[in-house]
């Protein structure tokens, strides 16, 4: 993916999830302090896990449809998908790098 984990309107979430890789999708907003704290963590993970895990940092202001689809009422909310594109875990609130890596290791 690159160092800037962000989707664009031209590549919807489903396209990322159909690439056969596990995925981390954080839904947040620029005005949310814990969301901003997670940004550098996600950028670092995107770089470290490039080609192994898809890392996306989505702004709910730009992706309201996803917020509605997943019933997001608090941010940040981080969604973890397996390599088949199936949601395996949903975490509400700030989550650190070690916690993210532990969730990725859990089948």
User: What pLDDT, on the 0 to 100 scale, is given for residue 7?
Assistant: 44
Any idea what the Cα angle at residue 64 is, between residues 78 and 16, rounded to 5°? 55
Whether residue 33 has pLDDT greater than 60: yes
User: What pLDDT, on the 0 to 100 scale, is given for residue 11?
Assistant: 63
Whether residue 18 has pLDDT greater than 80: yes
Does the annotation count 32 as an active-site position? yes
User: What pLDDT, on the 0 to 100 scale, is given for residue 20?
Assistant: 93
Q: 23, 25, 35, 42: which is the annotated catalytic residue?
A: 35
Residue 1 pLDDT level (bands cut at 50, 70, 90): very low
Q: 29, 32, 91, 103: which is the annotated catalytic residue?
A: 32
Pairing of strands 87-92, 77-81: antiparallel
Whether residue 68 has pLDDT greater than 90: no
Whether residue 54 has pLDDT greater than 50: yes
Q: Are 88 and 80 in contact, with CB atoms under 8 Å apart?
A: yes
What predicted TM-score, i.e. pTM, was given to this entire model?
A: 0.86
Whether residue 101 has pLDDT greater than 70: yes
Whether residue 3 has pLDDT greater than 60: no
Taking CA atoms, 84 is separated from 21, 23, 58, 88, 90, in Å, by 7, 10, 20, 10, 16
Does the annotation count 35 as an active-site position? yes
Domains with residue ranges and CATH for the chain: 13-105 (3.40.30.10)
User: What pLDDT, on the 0 to 100 scale, is given for residue 8?
Assistant: 45
């Amino acid at each position: 993916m690159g160092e800037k984990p962000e989707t664009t309107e031209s590549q919807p979430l489903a396209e990322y999830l159909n690439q056969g890789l596990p995925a981390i999708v954080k839904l947040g907003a620029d005005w949310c302090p814990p969301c901003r704290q997670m940004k550098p963590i996600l950028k670092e993970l995107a770089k470290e896990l490039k080609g192994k895990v898809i890392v996306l940092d989505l702004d709910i202001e730009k992706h309201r449809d996803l917020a509605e689809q997943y019933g997001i009422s608090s941010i940040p909310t981080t969604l973890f998908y397996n390599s088949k594109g199936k949601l395996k875990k949903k975490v509400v609130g700030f989550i650190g790098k070690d916690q993210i890596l532990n969730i990725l290791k859990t089948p």
